[in-house]
Chains A and B, each alone.
Chain A
Amino acid sequence: MLITCPYCGPRDVSEYTYQGDGNRTRPDPASTDQEVWNAYVYDRLNPAGEHHEIWQHSGGCRAHLAVTRNTLTHVVSSVSFARDAGHKKSDSRRKTGAKA
């Protein structure tokens, strides 16, 4: 699998570290809403298909990247620097958190 780092160009997956679900938005640091924190730390969208995720080019420039990748085919459809993508984040995707 190759991921095209916006700085380094296409590089093998072995140069990257998967840093997880890319659509999570860290709650307000002062928030004490346990549900919100629980969702941030533990709940994942985990789709079978297009997935927004964070990868670090840890074996290259070390930048974190916002990657859109299909989890069924592994096809990477977009890559950008996570620090730029950060502002576009939306947290509207979550409907129901899993509860017991």
Chain B
Amino acid sequence: MVEQESPLKPVWKPGTRGNFSDGVGVYLSETAPGSIVQLAAWHGEEKAIIAAIKKVAGLTLPDGAGGGAATGTKAAFGFAPGKFLVVDEQEGLVAAFAKSVKTETGTVTDLSHGRTAIRITGPKAEWVLAKFFAIDFSLTAFPVGAGRSTVHHDIFAQIQRSAPTQFDVYVFRSFARSFWTALCHASEEVGYEVK
């Protein structure tokens, strides 16, 4: 199988940069999952989709808007009414869902190439992300596992809090390089390391 090329290649520069007077504020990385799948339920079929996620990915999603769950290798979250993003380190998730989601239930759309996953983790992750997105990143308002859809000017983002100080930001691939560059720039204030 041919490896996916990262859209960040020329701007992805491992190492540390910025102001480290208070240590490293954030770590930035691209997670490059093998599968990113969008599932959409018809009105009233949301539970069936949640069940399919449980069956295929082994993730139990809490009820309610933006509910999600993440393990080390898999993650899923709601990002719109009846819509979910499911992510797996491995390829092949689309085919698996295509089998378990029936036409009467909803749709399966492969976005494995279409979205780029950028991880920001560290004590200043909330601070840096707040420079971009007009959503409340505090742990009470944005619990671990939950997902949010938002936008930074032209750049759409789906964001999951995968750990207390860790966020996975899914952006359109064509914008990924611009977003990454801006993210690095904004992180200089707190010191960042690219891993």
Contact = CB atoms under 8 A, between A and B. Distances in A.
- Whether A and B are associated in the same complex: the answer reads yes
Interface of A: 6-9, 11-12, 14-15, 58-63, 81, 83
Q: By DSSP majority rule, is chain A's interface helix, strand, loop, or mixed?
A: loop
Interface string B56-70: 000000000110000
B50 to A, nearest CB: 15
Contacts of B107: none
A84 B80 CA distance: 15
A12 B66 CA distance: 18
A11 B65 contact: no
B161 interface: no
Nearest to A63: B81
Q: By DSSP majority rule, is chain B's interface helix, strand, loop, or mixed?
A: strand
30 contacts: A6-B65, A6-B81, A7-B66, A7-B80, A7-B81, A8-B66, A8-B148, A8-B149, A9-B65, A11-B134, A11-B150, A12-B134, A14-B134, A14-B151, A15-B134, A15-B151, A58-B151, A59-B150, A59-B151, A60-B80, A60-B149, A61-B79, A61-B80, A61-B81, A61-B149, A62-B80, A62-B149, A63-B80, A63-B81, A81-B81
Contacts of A12: 134
Interface string B132-149: 001100000000000011
B177 interface: no
Interface of B: 43, 65-66, 79-81, 83, 134-135, 148-151, 156
Contacts, number: 41
A11 B141 CA distance: 13
Contacts of A11: 134-135, 150
A8 B135 CA distance: 10
Given A7-B80, A15-B151, A61-B80, 7 more contacts: A7-B81, A8-B66, A15-B134, A15-B150, A59-B150, A61-B81, A61-B149
